[in-house]
Amino acid sequence: MCCRRMTVLILVLAMLFCAGTSAARVTLTMQVRSGPEGDASRKLVELWNQTKAKDAGFEVEQVDTTRSGYYTSVNNALFSGAPKPDIFLSYSNFTALYATNNLVVDLTDRFNDPTKYPYDKKDWYPVALELAQYKGRLYALPTDTNTYLLYYRKDLISKPPETWEELYEVAKQFTAKYNPKSPTKYGITFYGIRDESLAMFWFQIFKSYGGEFFDDKGNPTLNSPAGVTALSWVARVVKEGLVPPDITTYEYSQVYSALQSGQVAMGINWDAAYSGLMDPKESPLVAGKMAAALLPGVKGPDGKIRRAHNVHDLYFVINKNSAHIDEAFQFIAWATSSPEALRAYTEAGCSPPHFSIANDPEILKKFPSFALRQEAIVKYGYIEPHVPEWPELKDKLLSYLVKGWVGQLSPKDALDQACAEIARALGKK
Amino acid sequence: MRGDRLRLYSKLSIAPAIAALCLSALYPFLFSLRLSFTDATTYNFTDVKWVGLRNYLYVARDPGLLYSLFFTLFFACVVVIIELVLGYAIALLFDRGFPGRQIMVTLMLVPIVVAPMVYGLSFRLMLNSFIGIIPYYLDRMGITVDFFGSTWSSIATLVVIDVVQWTSFVFIILYSALQNFPPELREAALVDGASWLEAVRYVVTPVLKPTLWIAGILRFVDALKVFDTVFMTTGGGPGNATSSLSIELYNRTFNQFRLGEMAAFSVVVLLVVSLLLKPTSDRLEASYRD
């Protein structure tokens, strides 16, 4: 009887001890978007938990959230003031919004403290850090700096088109409707769903035609001749059926699937698509036949091609209300800057904005697109306006862009109405 | 005395439900009503200013919002009519009986239990030009269908998706009513020489009218809230062709942070829907009295 009681007592004490130690161990929660970035982040989390968590005294737990409406869910969580998740994957569209509304932790002092950030600051692409800053203060640490690339079937197209007009001609050549002998059904595909990436895709055409977002007085100028020409180009491509008919439902996954199917000759998609399209296991129909190139542009009077590559960061931000800000910074600093984390993240198919990664011969051998991506970002990259209202203004633009390119409105009317909405939102006439 | 106590107990017993209703419906409505007269956005939430009827004037003049209201009403009417007709026809068919009917009734419930978001995503994949199973088999039969390429094709596709999911809901309500239908009424009609169709038209349907109205109202109110399937398939596009009330509210509230304006829009929608439903519920009451 006495032995039995002792056994029970020991068991209870052991359970209490375990509960106590697990309660004492800190676990950070990190919210990430599902897809390639989610898969790659999971590798980082696993690596941290296996190799660093014990010494650091905390673990990280990743929560994957659906891609649809992801950033809306992040912003809602931050505005709500909830203390969890501690870390969010977000993107540079929102830097000014986060900064002016005090939603995320200002990382500047920690970043400049060598005891807290013991990594090489010069290794960053300058534009990557610029996107994470607002008025000289740093609010995030970038995981990826992304841009769009033109993917094309190199077995069908010997030289990728250099201008938008050339792209139109090549796309027509590979659309079965105009060329029954075409080995592909459609010539080109790109984003079409009402999503900020659609605006980012279109801005590249707009900027390459010489467009500017605002004039000196802060009035929107998306309806300039450059804007009308850019939107007319897309409207023409859609109207003439050079793109799949359901393109208005297309975001990253659908453009990727279309290219994987081998039924589309070219596609404009994020650089993250490169490794999957080249992988025989993931894309058996087209691996070995795909290549990537810089986006087309507009030929200037000097014969040079003016290209514009949208550059944005995916980055980690720390929730202002997190109870573990120092731990969160320690993790995101390691995840975005330590050699082992950068390598793991790159091997998982993502693209950290570090010169050491893009210039590493071993990595370039495995991911030849990195050189191209670096050229696109560093040489032709532009960043969108860094103002708090920008997410709202971009969202207002979206419906009008698609109306313009499916023919519900003429390109001029669509952009005029968009500019009127934007001006009204800015309190301008 | 006993009657007073009974009345008191009756009131006490429904008090928790009333409290829950006040907390979950009345308080948010009053809060929203207050917001609708301010310039509230997500950024200035703690420092809003009174703007009077400015938000209501904005709602009355904004073509996008007005379109979403009319589109949603149109969509709700179309899907409800189709689902009522189909659901009733299937319920009558099942009522006649056939081998394996009970298993089929259970299978008919499957679409209702699937989450609308999952439904929408599934259809988006199934209807994709390149990887979709439906275009694949249609193509093999030499049929090309444009599911999302234009305004009307997108609307038609959304109607079909809604009908496929929710006809079962109407079916189960009407089937249950038919199972409780007095058999002697139908038999009397048949004995008098009426055909099955005439019995349905002149005997069954008039008796089932209140149930048909209830099924219709429930589906109408639900269809007005359509969000998940639109969000996962067209996102409200092309342009704003399939932008329902909920989609428009979602985009402008959470992506554009316009809380005051959208609160005003919500109040307007509530008034419109209440005005539409009032004659319907009066008619329902009248048919019960009949």
Q: Do B81 and B159 meet the contact criterion of CB atoms below 8 Å apart?
A: no
d(CA A328, CA A28): 7
What is the reported pLDDT for B284?
66
d(CA A128, CA A357): 14
Q: Is A245 on the interface with B (CB under 8 A)?
A: yes
> How many other β-carbons are positioned within 10 Å of the β-carbon of residue A23?
8
Query: How many angstroms separate the first and last alpha carbons of chain B?
Result: 37
Check residue A423 and give its pLDDT. Answer: 92
- Model confidence over A159-173: pLDDT tens digits? 999 999 999 999 999
Report residue A4's pLDDT band, with 50, 70 and 90 as the boundaries: confident
Distances A322 to A85, A116, B54 between C-alpha atoms, Å? 7, 18, 38
pLDDT value at A429 more than 50? no
Predicted pLDDT at A378? 86
3-class SS of residue A407: coil
Quote the mean pLDDT of chain B.
89
Which DSSP string corresponds to A274-311? HHHHH-TTT-TTTTTTEEEEPPPBEE-TTS-EE--EE-
Rounded to the nearest integer, the mean pLDDT of chain A is: 91
Residues in chain A: 429
Write down the residue that tokens 């960053």 correspond to. A124
Write down the pLDDT at residue A369.
84
Rounded Cα gap, residues B240 and A397, in angstroms: 12
Residue A352: C-alpha distances to residues A41, A45, A185, B51, B57 (Å): 12, 16, 35, 47, 48
Q: List all residues of chain A from 183 to 202 with a beta carbon under 8 Å from chain B.
A: 192-195
d(CA A396, CA B197): 54
Diameter of chain B measured on Cα atoms: 80
* pTM attached to this predicted model: 0.84
pLDDT of residue B55: 93
Q: Give the pLDDT confidence score for residue A1 in this predicted structure.
A: 54
Cβ B237–A396 below 8 Å, yes or no?
no
Which residue would you say has higher pLDDT here, A66 or A289? A289
Name the residue facing A245 among B124, B129, B231 (closest C-beta). B129
Confidence (pLDDT) at A16? 61
Tell me how far apart the alpha carbons of residues A56 and A326 are, in angstroms, rounded to a whole number. 11
* Across A270-288, average pLDDT: 91
**What's the rounded Cα separation, in Å, for the pair A129 and B187?**
81
Q: Which ranges of chain B have pLDDT less than 50? A: none
pLDDT, residue B288, reads 61
According to DSSP, residue A249 is labeled G
Residue A384 CA to residue A244 CA, distance in Å, equals 29
The SS3 assignment for A141 reads strand
Q: Do A248 and B148 touch (CB under 8 A)?
A: yes
| Alpha helical stretches, state H, A338-410 | 339-347, 355-358, 361-366, 369-380, 390-406
| Residues A5-20: tens digit of each pLDDT | 777 777 767 666 655 5
Question: How many Å separate Cα A428 from the centre of its chain?
Answer: 31
Identify the band that residue A43 occupies on the pLDDT scale cut at 50, 70 and 90: very high
d(CA B78, CA B75): 5
Distance of CA A299 to the CA centre of its chain: 28
The Cα of A282 is separated from the nearest Cα of chain B by a number of Å equal to: 14
CA distance B69 to chain A (A): 16
Closest chain A C-alpha to B158 CA, distance in angstroms? 13
Chain B nearest-CA residue for A404: B239
> Quick one: pLDDT at residue B88?
96
Separation between Cα atoms, residue A9 and residue B266, nearest integer Å: 60
Give the pLDDT mean for A43-54.
Answer: 95
- The answer to whether A69 contacts chain B (CB < 8 Å) is yes
Q: Residues of A with CB below 8 A from B256's CB?
A: 392, 395-396, 425
Confidence band for A250, pLDDT divided at 50, 70 and 90: very high
CA A78 to chain CA centroid, Å, is 20
Name the residue of chain B whose CA is nearest to A405's CA.
Answer: B239
When scoring B54, B119, B125, B130 by the number of chain A Cβ atoms within 10 A, the one with the most, hence best to mutate, is B130
**Would you state the pLDDT for residue A294?**
97
Q: How distant, in Å, are the alpha carbons of A77, A282, A319, A331 from that of A61?
A: 17, 28, 15, 12
Three-state SS annotation for chain B? CHHHHHHHHHHHHHHHHHHHHHHHHHHHHHHHHHHCCECCCCCCCCCCCECCCHHHHHHHHCHHHHHHHHHHHHHHHHHHHHHHHHHHHHHHHHHHCCCCHHHHHHHHCHHHHCCHHHHHHHHHHHCCCCCCHHHHHHHHCCCCCCCCCCHHHHHHHHHHHHHHHHHHHHHHHHHHHHHCCCHHHHHHHHHCCCCHHHHHHHHHHHHHHHHHHHHHHHHHHHHHCCCHHHHHHCCCCCCCCCCCHHHHHHHHHHHCCCHHHHHHHHHHHHHHHHHHHHHHHHHHHHHHHC
Compute how many other C-beta atoms are within 10 angstroms of the C-beta atom of residue A50: 9
Identify whether the C-beta of residue A404 lies closer than 8 Å to the C-beta of residue A410.
Answer: yes
Q: CB contact, 8 Å: A47 with chain B?
A: no
With an 8 Å Cβ cutoff, is B266 touching chain A? no
Average confidence (pLDDT) over A237-258: 92
Residue where the block lists tokens 């007073």: B4
The Cα B50–Cα B241 span in angstroms is 33
Q: Pull the structure tokens for residue B272.
A: 């419109």
Q: Transcribe A70-126 into DSSP letters.
A: HHHHHHHHHHHT----SEEEEEGGGHHHHHHTT-B---HHHHT-TTT--S-GGGB-H
- Residue A38 CA to residue B222 CA, distance in Å, equals 34
For residue A103, what is the nearest residue in chain B, using CA coordinates? B43
pLDDT > 90? residue A41 = yes
- Mean pLDDT value across residues A404-408: 87
Cβ-defined contact of A248 to B237 (cutoff 8 Å): yes
| No. of helices (H) and no. of strands (E), chain A | 19, 15
Decide if pLDDT at A143 tops 60. yes
* Among B131, B137, B223, CA closest to A246: B131
* Contact criterion met (CB < 8 Å) for B231 and A69: yes
Nearest CB to B128 within list A69, A72, A254: A254
End-to-end CA distance of chain A: 88
3-state SS assignment for residue A361? helix
Do B256 and A399 count as a contact with CB atoms less than 8 A apart? no
Chain A interface includes B129 (CB < 8 A): yes
The pair of three-digit structure tokens given for residue A198, joined into one six-digit string: 């659609």
Beta carbons of B254 and A406 less than 8 Å apart:
no
Q: Quote the minimal CA–CA distance from A45 to chain B in Å.
A: 28
Q: What does DSSP assign to residue A391? A: H
pLDDT the model gives residue A350: 86
Here the tokens at position A269 are: 């998609």
3-state secondary structure of A60: strand
Strand partners, A188: A266
Inter-residue contact A263 to A184 (CB < 8 Å): yes
